[in-house]
Structure 1
Amino acid sequence: MKTSELKEFLEAKTYQYNNPDFIESDPIQIPHQFHIKEDIEISGFLSATIAWGNRKSIINNAKRMMDLLDNAPYDFIKNHTETDLEKLHPFVHRTFNGDDFIQFIKSLHHIYKNHNGLEAVFLKHAEKDSLQKSISNFKSTFFEIEHLPRTQKHVSDPLKNSAAKRINMFLRWMVRHDNAGVDFGIWTRLDPKQLSCPLDVHSGNVARKLGLLNRKQNDGKALLELDTALRKLDAKDPVKYDFALFGLGVFEGF
């Protein structure tokens, strides 16, 4: 397939899946329940954190997370007591358990109290065409308070060759802005051209079939290869093609 044909194909598939109908089958539906910026970003971050495995289970458990936070995540982060944290203990999603959930609440409290919130932390080390150093810095900031060592595995580090799929997905939600109504675009100090594609088994397999990716592992090196290919198709908004790659893989079995 010629580059022009590939671009035309991916543009059509992006248009097909980047619309409000996509929301009801995706974890992005969780932050769409909120209207305050901090509620959107916190609920989005927590939902993205557990976004692996069965999609129905992800959505149900993300809803349960919000219920446990009284459906007011920012207020809970700011004002929780030790007693409030106790009710989070029974939560579990695969290897993410109640202890991890409590640690995330404490780390988020630290970020909003001492670092001006999530957007400010990701902005701090942003590069012209990449947020991968920002993600690594975010992990360091997230765990600079006393923490459980086991919880570190739930925040990826691209500088250790991770594709950081879940954080890159969260960043897409926060930074991308268009008229489709799926992504939020509420982080206006970052630019869509800095984003990286959320690389998972579905998008990776489709990217390989389309000749966008040769590397077999879905790791940091593969992400750089895919990002480079997508930027050639659209340098200003390369990650919009995530809708096409994901839709082709999950909904069409491409």
Structure 2
Amino acid sequence: MNTKIALITGASRGLGKNIAMHLAAQGVGIIGTYHSRADEARVLEDDIARSGGRAVMLQLDMGNSAGFGAFSQELKAILTKTFSCERFDFLVNNAGIGLYADIADTTEQQFDQLFNIHLKGPFFLTQKLLPLINDGGRIINISTGLTRFCSPGLAAYATMKGGLEVLTHYQAKELGARGISVNALAPGAIETDFGGGLVRDNQEINQQISSATALGRVGLPDDIGGAVAALLSDGTHWITGQRIEASGGVLI
């Protein structure tokens, strides 16, 4: 059986790194992207190689769609050189940044930055990569629980993710003819360095979220890496166009 290959944006740290490790443990070849932390990207390559897998990390600025054409050409060369194939199977649109600002205080510059990275970036990167995705492949767009419940200071961020969820429906509809399934995975609060590590490092906030969660704790990166790996397994291809929340039952 041919090895599956996944492209994961923002894979050098946080949830993206965990997703890469989970998929690599299942024998999936990994192509990840990083923005500026080349040292962390190399660490992930080495970690996966030591575990017997294959991983290549490529630099990509998700906020600059003008670079997507050159990236797709670089990706095509890596597929041929490293994996001896012309296409890949799984695209995980994960890369993102956090921003905490009330609506009254959010600047246009901040809004535009979030838009470029979280909505325009996935839209046009996916568009550019469609010729390189195998028929019958999968796309997962990483959203957020904040599209269902509200937390002050996250309006602009959640607005972009809401748009990404709508995009997920349209991608599922338009790409269904190629057998490509598309879903949005919406994590709840996770202990990572995202947003300055607020959930991980602020014990008061951590406890508040835990007390409002059915499973009694905030999420861990493994909760999301495992969920993505499960959604990309052979038995879930019939699931498409869905928003799937992985939040431990927060605020239900």
**Fold agreement, TM-score > 0.5:** no
Task: Please report the TM-score for the alignment, with normalisation by the length of structure 1.
Answer: 0.32
Task: Please report the TM-score for the alignment, with normalisation by the length of structure 2.
Answer: 0.32
Structure with the largest fraction of helix: 1
